[in-house]
Amino acid sequence: MKIENIGDLELIEGRRNSKVPYSTSILVKGKNGKGDALVDIGTGKEGYEYINENHDIQDIFITHYHLDHVKGIPYFQNANIYVNEIDEHKLNDMEVLGKAMGTYALHGASVVNQWIEHNKNSQPFADIMKRDKNLYPYDQTINVAGHDVQMLYAPGHCESYCCPYFPDEGVLVVGDYDLTSFGPWYNNADSDIDAFITSGEMTLNVDADYYVTFHHKGTFTRKEYEVALERYLAIIEERERKIIQLLKEGTAIEDLIHREVFYMKRNLEMAPLLLEFEIMGVAKHLKRLAKQNNYYEDHYQSFLDHHFAEPAYSDYFVQNE
């Protein structure tokens, strides 16, 4: 397990180099009489053990609801949990969670109900759903273990996403702007491509020395981050050009999801559930194309009708409910 130190922050790497379904956690060492805190907790057991043996965690701040960022919560029974007001709904109610993830849109109510029955009494869901949750505001200075922090609102990856900013340490946690060669991930019902780009550009307005990602690429200097972010965001346009080309070639709407816009064939063979994210990702692109050019509206509607049990829920935002 690798640990990187920046001032009072310990970046604790997750299992398998923090690759999904694990992620890096930030331990914030307490000062001015405050206890220690965590930002996100999904490192895997080695990380949880290390943290519990060496620190007394008072508070855990969750950037967003994705499982790879919250699944360690049950290992910290004495900690107070802090979430944003958008995630509060999803982390208290598995039906809302199923809608945000896109399960409801893809498969409908009965499958979501089965999924809830299957998971509600097992960890980590059982503990996460019942834990008391405190709310943190976006974009205001809050106190995390005695440090000033702003949770900069950055929707797109999902509706609730935010980037913790530690001005005194010169650290911006860009987290799931993970700068990997896979590219940006906006494959839930509550994801949005244009918001992803706007939020990505927002991170460049933040004055930081270190840009910390939560998966295997680690920490970037400002200069490295500028270059890597541009390359990363460009992948969105590459995917879009590919879809345009496939449609131009007359690719059938049911075949669009087997043309490696996001996931490689071998990845889909190894993990068939990834196909759900492929479908959602292509839907998000077709929605964007239809918004720019009416020509794509029919493709978008026919894709939704073909692949979704509840097409209206392919865009699901708690704030619109």
Smallest distance from Zn ion to CB 36, Å: 24
State which of residues 176, 192, 278, 310 lies at the interface with Zn ion (CB under 5 A): 176
Smallest distance from Zn ion to CB 65, Å: 8
Residues facing residue 173 across a β-bridge: 212
Instruction: Determine the interface stretch with Zn ion among 87-95, 135-143, 172-180, 292-300 (rule: CB under 5 A).
Output: 172-180
Token pair for 156? 């797109």
Q: Half-sphere exposure of residue 34, counting CA atoms within 13 Å on the CB side? A: 17
Residue 280 burial by CB count (10 A; 0-12/13-18/19+): exposed, middle or buried?
buried
Q: Which is nearer to Zn ion, 70 or 256 (CB)?
A: 70
DSSP annotation of 290: H
Smallest distance from Zn ion to CB 20, Å: 8
Instruction: Find, among 162, 141, 157, 171, the residue nearest to 280 by Cα.
Output: 157
Q: Which is nearer to Zn ion, 66 or 285 (CB)?
A: 66
| Cα first-last separation, the chain | 42
Size of interface with Zn ion, in residues (CB under 5 A):
2
Q: Which is nearer to Zn ion, 8 or 315 (CB)?
A: 315
The per-residue DSSP string of 244-272 comes to: HHHHHTT--TTTGGGS-SSS-HHHHHH-T
Residue in the shown chain whose Cβ atom is closest to Zn ion: 66
Smallest distance from Zn ion to CB 7, Å: 25
Q: Which is nearer to Zn ion, 159 or 176 (CB)?
A: 176
* Nearest-angstrom CA–CA distance, 260 and 30: 46
Instruction: Note the residue count of the chain.
Output: 321
Q: Which is nearer to Zn ion, 162 or 268 (CB)?
A: 162
Task: Please say whether the dihedral angle defined by the alpha carbons of residues 52, 56, 58 and 62, taken in this order, is positive or negative.
Answer: negative
Q: Which is nearer to Zn ion, 180 or 304 (CB)?
A: 180
- Identify the three-state secondary structure at position 294: helix
CA gyration radius for the chain?
20
Smallest distance from Zn ion to CB 178, Å: 9
Smallest distance from Zn ion to CB 13, Å: 17
- Identify the three-state secondary structure at position 115: helix
Smallest distance from Zn ion to CB 22, Å: 12
One symbol per residue from 120 to 159: x for binding Zn ion (CB under 5 A), - otherwise; what is it?
A: ----------------------------------------
Q: Which is nearer to Zn ion, 87 or 176 (CB)?
A: 176
Instruction: Determine the interface stretch with Zn ion among 54-62, 133-141, 168-176, 239-247 (rule: CB under 5 A).
Output: 168-176
Q: Which is nearer to Zn ion, 64 or 287 (CB)?
A: 64
State which of residues 9, 20, 41, 66 lies at the interface with Zn ion (CB under 5 A): 66
* Nearest-angstrom CA–CA distance, 10 and 39: 10
Which helix (H) or strand (E) element contains residue 120?
Answer: none
* Nearest-angstrom CA–CA distance, 210 and 221: 5
β-pairing verdict for 162-166 and 147-153:
antiparallel
Instruction: Determine the interface stretch with Zn ion among 39-47, 60-68, 217-225, 291-299 (rule: CB under 5 A).
Output: 60-68
Smallest distance from Zn ion to CB 68, Å: 7
278 binds Zn ion (CB under 5 A): no
Residues that bind Zn ion (CB under 5 A): 66, 176
